[in-house]
């Protein structure tokens, strides 16, 4: 016969699981809460543990947002996609690293991504290819003006 879990077992399980998850990577409070709920831990215990971990500095949505945004920027995602993904993870503040980026920086990032993926060929006469590349950049989270600037970019003449 299995012994019934008491309050201490649940709390220990919540603390151990949360700490294990945080040791692997940063998590937002919402992500961690959802993962602990999947482990059948009571909501009251989850909230208590997460409050304590925030007070200790082990769980920090601002730090998570900054790390997450930098990782996504490094692999070529634009501001709209990054902000949307952060909101899905329960973070409704713009990380400082995104605020530091100018429109010009984002356009440069879109041009670099286009160059890496497609090259910087002239698209004036190839409407289908222009649309294909624009859709790709839009899915990556770049704004319409950033996509336009990226599509206008040409390889330097040699």
Q: Which of 33, 29, 34, 98 is nearest to 64 (CA)?
A: 29
Distance CA 27, CA 15 (A): 14
At 21, list the tokens: 């998850």
Q: How confident is the model at residue 156 (pLDDT cuts 50, 70, 90)?
A: confident
Quick one: pLDDT at residue 149?
Answer: 94
Cβ partners under 8 Å of residue 48, min gap 6: 11
pLDDT at 158 over 80: no
Residue 109 region by backbone torsions, left for phi larger than 0, else alpha for psi between -120 and 50, else beta: alpha
Quick one: pLDDT at residue 7?
Answer: 60
Q: Which of 67, 70, 81 is nearest to 137 (CA)?
A: 81
Q: Who has greater pLDDT, 124 or 55?
A: 55
User: Could you tell me the CA-to-CA distances from 121 to 86, 104, 158 in Å, in that order?
Assistant: 34, 21, 14
pLDDT in tens, 8-29: 688 999 999 999 999 999 999 9
Tokens 């704004």: give the residue.
143
Quick one: pLDDT at residue 3?
Answer: 47
What percent of the chain has pLDDT above 70? 94
Contact 66, 95 (CB under 8 A): yes
pTM of the shown model: 0.86
Q: Please give the domain boundaries of the chain with CATH numbers for all domains.
A: 8-59 (1.10.10.10), 102-152 (1.10.10)
pLDDT in tens, 57-82: 999 999 999 999 999 999 999 999 99
């Amino acid at each position: 016969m299995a012994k019934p879990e008491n309050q201490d077992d649940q709390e220990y399980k919540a603390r151990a699981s949360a700490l294990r998850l945080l040791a692997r990577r940063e998590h937002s409070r919402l992500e961690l809460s959802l993962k602990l709920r999947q482990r059948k831990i009571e909501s009251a215990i989850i909230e208590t543990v997460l409050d304590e971990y925030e007070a200790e500095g082990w769980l920090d949505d601002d730090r998570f947002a900054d790390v997450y945004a930098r990782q996504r920027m490094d692999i070529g995602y634009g501001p709209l996609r990054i902000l949307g993904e952060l909101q899905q993870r329960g973070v409704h503040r713009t990380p400082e690293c995104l605020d530091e980026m100018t429109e010009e920086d984002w356009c440069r990032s879109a041009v670099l991504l286009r160059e890496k993926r497609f090259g910087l060929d002239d698209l004036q006469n190839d409407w289908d290819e222009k649309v294909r590349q624009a859709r790709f950049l839009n899915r990556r989270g770049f704004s319409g003006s950033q996509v336009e600037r990226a599509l206008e970019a040409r390889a330097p003449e040699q």
